[in-house]
């Protein structure tokens, strides 16, 4: 089977922008969570937002209009290309494919377009907005901007979207449909996301110490919303070596499943058992149910015990929904490549979530990421250290 390697990562998130900044933020335990205007003027709430972002820093050409998700996607692509040491005009870029995912897509443009109709009537909607309101607008814009005419797939698969997008990219390379893929996902904060999740009782409430996301903690009472985009460069190994690319890690497998035991089934697809020392980058975000189910699945996979370390980035960067999976993946690359240890502590562990936390002295050879949607779908990805990996 063709081997698939990662040769570049481009994260733009509330905790860091670009490979080094993102990994350093995870190492330092930096949090991106801060105050946010909810739009209803009632109270100050928390979210992990990308601040001081200027899309023109990342654009090759000026644009008349871009949704916030499209802006993030352009930034992630620009960062990923630079990280993979590729020029936008390279033939290798044009012959590549694209596979992205999102949960809610260009929500702010959908809202802008439709609220004009509500407030002013159908004759005063802005036609230019509508083509920018499709779930797949950002991936289309990337194809156009960079001339990427190859394999093209877009997931709107909820919180598993970017993990599923990476899985399809890996499969497309394995099948030989394409040698190189840009894969990942995007999500942008919008006040109605917070309002809606709030009404559904999913968002963290202030229990005396401000709203926090506390994965696996017995005091957890919900998640804090995040946003951002991430793109990774995936290549068939021989093609990566032919262009002297820096190999960061190898993707050894993916698994996807649905239902009450979907997490465990997805994990078993990538690795039959949890081997001692494997890291897991989980999706735990501080929600009562989701965290417990994740911990249970990991324990079953580990044959009753935690066999390695578990890390949950949503504690710092918020619940990034459809983009969560690619951020987990980029975090995983950092661990494999540089033996980075992300500090993560559960202050008051929930006995129902008995996971172990990162510790020193692990020689990490394998990292598994697990993304789960509240609707029942799970996708796992497995990364292994490549013998050709070059630590930078």
Partner 1 sequence: MDERIVITGLGAVTPIGLNTEETWRALLRGRPDAFRPLRRFDTRDMAFSVGGEIPNFEPNPDDVALAGPSDRAALLMMSAAREALEQAEWREKGATSGLRLGIILSTNFGSVECAEEWLGGNPAPGTMGSDFDGLSFQRAADFLARRWGAEGPVMNLSLSCASGTAAIAAAASLLKSGQADAILAGGYDALSRFAWIGLSALRTMSRTAVRPFDRRRDGTIFSEGAGALLVERESTARRRDAPVLAVLVGTALNNNAFHLTAPAREGAGTVAVMQQALLQAELAPEQVDHINAHGTGTIPNDLTETQAIQAVFGSHASKIPITSIKGTVGHLMGAAGSVEAIASVLTLRDGRIPPVANLEEPDPACALDYVRGEPRKGRFRTVLSNSAGIGGCNAAVIVSVP
Of residues 261 through 280, those in contact with partner 1 by CB under 8 A are 262, 265, 269
For residue 107, state whether it binds partner 1 (rule: CB under 8 A). Answer: yes
For residue 103, state whether it binds partner 1 (rule: CB under 8 A). Answer: yes
For residue 223, state whether it binds partner 1 (rule: CB under 8 A). Answer: no
Residue 191's nearest CA partner among 90, 44, 292, 76 is 44
The CA-atom distances, in angstroms, between 58 and each of 71, 76, 91, 187 are 9, 9, 20, 18
For residue 293, state whether it binds partner 1 (rule: CB under 8 A). Answer: no
Q: How far is the CB of 271 from partner 1 (least distance, A)?
A: 15
Is 13 or 109 the residue whose CB approaches partner 1 more closely?
109
- Give the Cβ contact number of residue 217 at 10 Å: 20
The CA-atom distances, in angstroms, between 5 and each of 20, 91, 153, 344 are 19, 19, 19, 28
Contacting partner 1 within 341-360 (CB under 8 A): none
257: its two tokens = 């499943």
Q: How far is the CB of 144 from partner 1 (least distance, A)?
A: 6
Is 26 or 377 the residue whose CB approaches partner 1 more closely?
377
For residue 147, state whether it binds partner 1 (rule: CB under 8 A). Answer: yes
For residue 390, state whether it binds partner 1 (rule: CB under 8 A). Answer: no
Q: Which of 11, 16, 32, 105 binds partner 1 (CB under 8 A)?
A: 105
Contacting partner 1 within 163-182 (CB under 8 A): 164, 168, 171-172, 174-175, 177
Is 53 or 114 the residue whose CB approaches partner 1 more closely?
114
For residue 236, state whether it binds partner 1 (rule: CB under 8 A). Answer: no
3-state per-residue secondary structure call for 31-79: CCEEEECCCCCCCCEEEECCCCCCHHHCCCCCCCCCCHHHHHHHHHHHH
Is 253 or 354 the residue whose CB approaches partner 1 more closely?
253
Cβ–Cβ < 8 Å for 108, 161: no
Contacting partner 1 within 186-205 (CB under 8 A): 192, 195-202
CA dihedral sign, ordered 338, 339, 343, 344: positive
Q: How far is the CB of 49 from partner 1 (least distance, A)?
A: 20
- Of 46-54, 122-130, 221-229, 238-246, the segment contacting partner 1 by CB under 8 A is 122-130
Instruction: Looking at the chain, list the stretches that DSSP marks H as alpha helix, in order from N- to C-terminal side.
Output: 19-28, 68-83, 91-94, 107-120, 137-146, 161-174, 191-199, 237-242, 262-270, 288-301, 314-317, 324-338
For residue 238, state whether it binds partner 1 (rule: CB under 8 A). Answer: no
Dist. CA 63–CA 106, nearest whole Å: 16
- Give the Cβ contact number of residue 358 at 10 Å: 18
- Of 271-279, 292-300, 302-310, 375-383, the segment contacting partner 1 by CB under 8 A is 375-383
For residue 134, state whether it binds partner 1 (rule: CB under 8 A). Answer: yes
């Amino acid at each position: 089977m063709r081997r698939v390697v990662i040769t570049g990562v481009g994260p733009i998130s509330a905790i860091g922008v670009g490979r080094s900044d993102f990994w350093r933020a995870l190492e330092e335990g930096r949090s991106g969570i801060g105050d946010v205007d909810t739009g209803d003027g009632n109270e100050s709430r928390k979210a992990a937002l990308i601040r001081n972002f200027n899309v023109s820093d990342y654009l090759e050409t000026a644009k008349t209009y871009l949704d916030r998700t499209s802006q993030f996607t352009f930034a992630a692509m620009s960062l990923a290309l630079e990280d993979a040491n590729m020029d936008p005009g390279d033939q290798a870029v044009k012959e590549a494919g694209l596979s992205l995912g999102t949960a809610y897509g260009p929500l702010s443009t959908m809202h802008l377009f439709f609220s004009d109709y509500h407030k002013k009537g159908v004759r005063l909607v802005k036609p230019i907005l509508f083509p920018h309101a499709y779930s797949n607008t950002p991936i289309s814009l990337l194809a156009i901007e960079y001339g990427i005419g190859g394999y093209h797939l877009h997931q709107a698969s909820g919180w598993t979207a970017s993990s599923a997008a990476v899985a399809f990219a890996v499969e497309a390379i394995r099948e030989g449909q394409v040698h190189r893929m840009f894969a990942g996902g995007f999500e942008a904060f919008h006040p109605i996301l917070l309002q809606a999740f709030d009404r559904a009782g999913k968002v963290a409430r202030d229990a005396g110490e401000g709203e926090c996301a506390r994965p696996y903690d017995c005091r957890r009472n919900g998640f804090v919303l995040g946003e951002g985009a991430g793109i990774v460069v995936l290549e068939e190994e021989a093609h990566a070596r032919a262009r002297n690319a820096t190999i960061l890690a190898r993707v050894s497998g993916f698994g996807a499943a649905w239902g009450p035991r979907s997490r465990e089934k997805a994990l078993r697809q990538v690795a039959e058992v949890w081997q001692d020392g494997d890291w897991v980058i989980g999706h735990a975000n501080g929600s009562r149910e989701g965290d417990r189910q994740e911990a249970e699945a990991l324990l079953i996979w580990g044959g009753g015990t935690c066999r390695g370390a578990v890390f949950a980035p949503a504690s710092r960067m918020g619940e990034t929904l459809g983009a969560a999976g690619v951020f987990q993946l980029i975090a995983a690359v950092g661990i494999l490549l540089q033996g980075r240890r992300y500090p993560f502590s559960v202050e008051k562990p929930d006995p129902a979530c008995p996971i172990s936390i990162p510790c020193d002295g692990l020689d990490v050879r394998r990292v598994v990421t697990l993304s789960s949607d509240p609707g029942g779908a799970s996708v796992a990805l497995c990364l292994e250290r490549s013998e050709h990996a070059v630590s930078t």
